[in-house]
Each structure stands twice: as structure tokens, then as C-alpha cells.
Amino acid sequence: MGASAKPGAVHLTILERVDAARAGFRSLTEAVDTTVPAGRMLMQLLGAFAEFERAMVQERTSAGLAAARAEGRVGGRRPKLTPAQRADVVEHVTAGRRTAADMARLYGVSDATISRTLAATRTGTRTAAPTAPRLDRGTGPLG
């Protein structure tokens, strides 16, 4: 199921397929039985509530990200190389003093990181680290 699919609609489609197969859903632990009208209605209501909750979560997430952006915070992973290190990589590799692999080993990053840095320089893409505080999960041992 894709992220754009509505969970309630998918849920009802599954129930329709079960019904078309002349089968029903009967929960052994809850009072849900889709072979009777009340059970079908309950399942439709549960699907509607699930869809509503998903929409509310999306709305809260969007509002939180917008508020963070308004405060100047930036989301995403921190760059592996500082702007000074990036400039050093570009200088040494373009001048032919060192290979990209040498620079990758020197700074403890992958060859792909060096390749992306060089490509960004050639295309004029911004490669400087953001100056605003980042959106971190926290400062604890796992954050």
C-alpha cells in the first residue's frame, strides 16, 4: 500500500473482497463479526476513525516542521565534511595533488561523499553546512 493510499479505502476494499468471496471476518477476541450488518458498520466506523487519525498525524507533523523552519532550524542529516574540509577536497583533487580516494581515506568518508562534493562544486550547488541549529531528536545518549 502506497503512502498516498487512503487506509480507510484500502480497508473497505479488503472487506469487499472478503465479502465477494462469500466469506466473513469474525474476531475471536472482540465482538466483531462482518457477516452481520452491525459488524460491517463497526468495521466501516473503525476504518473512518483510522483515516481521520492518520490525517491528524499528518497535519500535526506538517505544522511542527513549519514551526521549526520558522525558528530557523534545518532538518536532515548533518554533513560528514565541514565547509573547510570540502574546500580542501576540491582544492587537492582539482589541482591533481591527491586522488578522490586519498581524500576519502584522509577524512574517513566514502568515495561517494567525495564524488558528491566534487559534483556539487562543478554544478554550483550549495555545499556549505547550514549555520542554523538542526532539528535533532535530543541530547541524550541515543539522540
Write out pLDDT tens, residues 115-139.
999 999 888 765 444 444 555 545 4
**Mean pLDDT computed over 37-55:** 88
Dist. CA 34–CA 68, nearest whole Å:
45
Q: For 58-111, write each residue's pLDDT tens digit.
A: 999 999 999 999 999 888 888 899 999 999 999 999 999 999 999 999 999 999
- Under DSSP, the state recorded for 33 is B
Q: Is residue 134 helix, strand or coil?
A: strand
- Joined grid coordinates for residue 94: 582539482
What pLDDT shows up at residue 52?
95
**pTM for this predicted structure:** 0.48
Residues 66-75: contacts with CB under 8 Å, at least 24 apart: 68/135, 72/132, 72/133, 73/132, 73/133, 73/134, 73/135, 74/130, 74/132, 74/133, 74/134, 74/135, 75/134, 75/135
Nearest Cα residue to 47 out of 62, 34, 61, 64: 34
Dist. CA 78–CA 81, nearest whole Å:
9
